[in-house]
């Protein structure tokens, strides 16, 4: 009982069998080195705008330190409802259709847990966010993965969905704009997927955490398609566009029955999201349009630079529509994505994430985050160009 081997054997099999995130392992190597330029982190390099931080400071000063309603402060839920209506035209009742969560991470977890009985199948697409597969497995669901194709710019198609759907499919999990590819869907692309979901009577979870960060077209949410609001859990949060990762704030919008089911899990496991973060988020929704526009403008400059630099180097890159990632095709160098990333780190102190951290079809790609300063990105591109000359 005392030795670690016997303790290991007592850990639940589902947990034991799930590997640690590939990103985490890679960044343990990175953190042991000095002078690394990191294109690895999926986190804004901007500090949260001051007026948002100040709202938290002032709330603390007023002695706002208690629990809130399980669902979150009603004033925040009202703000969220207005914000979503403005963006999508879809109205959610702040009283029973909006739930404030601890990041989109918690929203994803409680959405899956609320829906999945053991063995239910969840369809999702890769390359994809590293949490999806484990979260489904923690709920004893069966992840059914669609490997999207580089030829389609990693955009999911109805034909790919039709191939994988079975009578056990219960949920379709979507993430556009996508981490790690930066791909976004056109309105027609979204409508095609919506038609599929309706025809097969699926519940859709849509992780739209990057929706503010689209550069060449307006984001179109699947909840705007007639017939989808009724069958969708919409997930969003403040981490990315508002640069508020450390506040751990997210929310779900969904019909009352689904919200109530998620609320039950949230109530017993989380109680509520942190009150100071909720206060800050009220301010974020009221007064941060200019901050978002500024940060988005900076990301766009970086996106343009990183994309054209890769192209000039002869490294094909899917032109990112959104989020803050470039997914660059390094397959011509005759090594795996992991080998490439490790060698680049070793030779030039530039860290990027091997595409395989996001699924099998990420082989041959590296993910470079441009949520880092343009000066650093410029230096990283010089180093990568120098590195590939040696190959
Ligand atoms: C696609 C996607 N969903 C969810 C999350 C988690 O975000 P949060 O900070 O809101 O938990 C991330 C974070 O990188 C992400 O990329």
Helix (H, G, I), strand (E, B) or coil at 37: strand
Tell me the residue length of the chain: 391
**Ligand 1 mutation pick, 133, 239, 284, 323, max ligand atoms within 8 A of CB:** 239
How many other CB atoms are found less than 10 A from the CB of residue 20?
10
Residues within 6 Å of ligand 1 by CB: 42, 103-105, 129, 175, 179, 207, 209, 237, 239, 245, 250
How many other CB atoms are found less than 10 A from the CB of residue 349?
17
Residues 6 or more apart whose CB falls under 8 angstroms from that of 227 comprise 194, 198
How many other CB atoms are found less than 10 A from the CB of residue 66?
7
pLDDT for res 349: 95
Place of tokens 């095609």: 192
Q: How many whole angstroms from 7 Cα to the centroid of ligand 1? A: 31
Q: How many CA atoms lie within 13 A of 39 on its CB side?
A: 35
Q: Which is the closest atom of ligand 1 to the Cα of 43?
A: 14
Residues 6 or more apart whose CB falls under 8 angstroms from that of 319 comprise 182, 307
Q: How many whole angstroms from 91 Cα to the centroid of ligand 1? A: 24
- CA 31 to CA 27: how far, in whole Å? 6
pLDDT for res 121: 98
**What are the DSSP calls for 5-27, one per residue?**
HHHHHHS-HHHHHSPPPHHHHHH
Q: How many whole angstroms from 241 Cα to the centroid of ligand 1? A: 11
Looking only at the bridges linking them, the beta strands covering 98-101 and 250-253 are: antiparallel
Residues 6 or more apart whose CB falls under 8 angstroms from that of 112 comprise 122, 135, 136, 138, 139, 141, 171, 205
Pair of tokens at residue 107: 């929203």
Helix (H, G, I), strand (E, B) or coil at 323: coil
**Ligand 1 mutation pick, 127, 233, 236, 240, max ligand atoms within 8 A of CB:** 240
pLDDT for res 213: 96
- Distance linking the first and last C-alpha atoms of the chain: 51
Nearest CA to ligand 1 atom 13: 42
Looking only at the bridges linking them, the beta strands covering 325-329 and 350-351 are: unpaired
Residue from 45, 47, 206 nearest 125 by CA: 206
Q: Check if the beta carbon of residue 133 is closer than 8 Å to that of residue 104.
A: no
Q: How many whole angstroms from 6 Cα to the centroid of ligand 1? A: 34
Q: How many whole angstroms from 194 Cα to the centroid of ligand 1? A: 23
Place of tokens 């508020």: 244
- Helical packing angle, 256-269 and 103-115, nearest 10°: 110
pLDDT for res 3: 58
Q: Which is the closest atom of ligand 1 to the Cα of 105?
A: 11
Q: How many whole angstroms from 170 Cα to the centroid of ligand 1? A: 23
- CA 123 to CA 143: how far, in whole Å? 6
- Residue 144: DSSP 8-state: E
Pair of tokens at residue 221: 């949410």
Mean pLDDT by 10 residues, the chain (391 residues): 75 90 77 88 94 98 98 98 97 98 98 98 97 96 97 96 98 98 96 98 98 94 98 98 98 98 98 98 98 97 97 92 96 95 95 94 96 96 96 90
**Ligand 1 mutation pick, 27, 99, 129, max ligand atoms within 8 A of CB:** 129
How many other CB atoms are found less than 10 A from the CB of residue 289?
10
pLDDT for res 11: 94
**Ligand 1 mutation pick, 180, 209, 236, max ligand atoms within 8 A of CB:** 209
Domains and CATH numbers, the chain: 4-48+290-389 (3.90.1150.10), 50-287 (3.40.640.10)
Q: Check if the beta carbon of residue 233 is closer than 8 Å to that of residue 205.
A: yes
Q: How many whole angstroms from 278 Cα to the centroid of ligand 1? A: 18
- CA 41 to CA 353: how far, in whole Å? 9
CA torsion, points 366, 372, 378, 382, in degrees to nearest 10? -40
Q: How many whole angstroms from 209 Cα to the centroid of ligand 1? A: 7
**Ligand 1 mutation pick, 41, 43, 48, 105, max ligand atoms within 8 A of CB:** 105
- CA 206 to CA 45: how far, in whole Å? 25
Q: Which is the closest atom of ligand 1 to the Cα of 102?
A: 11
How large is the C-alpha radius of gyration of the chain?
Answer: 21
Q: How many whole angstroms from 133 Cα to the centroid of ligand 1? A: 14
Nearest CA to ligand 1 atom 16: 179
pLDDT for res 4: 60
């Amino acid at each position: 009982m005392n030795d670690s081997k016997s303790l290991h054997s007592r850990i639940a099999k589902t947990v034991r069998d799930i590997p640690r995130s590939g990103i985490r392992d890679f960044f343990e190597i990175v953190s042991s080195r000095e002078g690394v330029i990191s294109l690895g982190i999926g986190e804004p390099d901007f500090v949260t705008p001051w007026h948002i931080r100040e709202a938290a400071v002032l709330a603390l000063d007023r002695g706002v330190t208690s629990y809130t309603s399980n669902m979150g402060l009603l004033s925040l839920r009202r703000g969220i409802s207005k914000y979503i209506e403005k963006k999508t035209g879809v109205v959610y009742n702040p009283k029973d259709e909006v739930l404030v969560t601890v990041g989109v991470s918690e929203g994803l977890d409680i959405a899956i847990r609320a829906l999945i009985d053991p063995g239910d199948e969840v369809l999702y697409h890769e390359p994809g966010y590293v949490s999806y597969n484990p979260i489904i497995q923690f709920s004893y669901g069966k992840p059914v993965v669609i490997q999207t194709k580089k030829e389609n710019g990693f955009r999911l198609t109805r034909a790919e969905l039709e191939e994988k759907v079975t009578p056990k499919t219960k949920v379709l999990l979507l993430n556009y704009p996508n981490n790690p590819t930066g791909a976004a869907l056109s309105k027609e692309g979204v409508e095609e997927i919506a038609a599929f979901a309706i025809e097969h009577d699926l519940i859709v979870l849509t992780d739209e955490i990057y929706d503010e960060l689209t550069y060449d077209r307006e984001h179109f949410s699947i909840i705007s398609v007639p017939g989808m609001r009724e069958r969708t859990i919409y997930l969003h949060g403040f981490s990315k566009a508002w640069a508020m990762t450390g506040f751990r704030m997210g929310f779900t919008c969904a019909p009352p029955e689904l919200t109530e089911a998620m609320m039950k899990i949230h109530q017993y496991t989380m109680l509520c999201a942190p009150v100071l973060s909720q206060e800050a988020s009220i301010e974020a929704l009221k007064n941060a349009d200019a901050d978002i526009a500024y940060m988005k403008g900076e990301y766009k400059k970086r996106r343009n630079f990183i994309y054209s630099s890769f192209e000039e180097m002869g490294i094909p890159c899917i032109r990112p529509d959104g989020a803050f990632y470039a997914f660059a095709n390094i397959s011509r160098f005759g090594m795996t994505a992991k080998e490439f990333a490790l060698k680049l780190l070793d030779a030039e102190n530039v860290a990027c994430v091997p595409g395989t951290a996001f699924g099998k079809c990420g082989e041959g790609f590296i993910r470079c985050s441009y949520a880092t300063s343009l000066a650093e990105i410029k230096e990283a591109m010089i180093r990568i160009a120098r590195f590939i000359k040696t190959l």
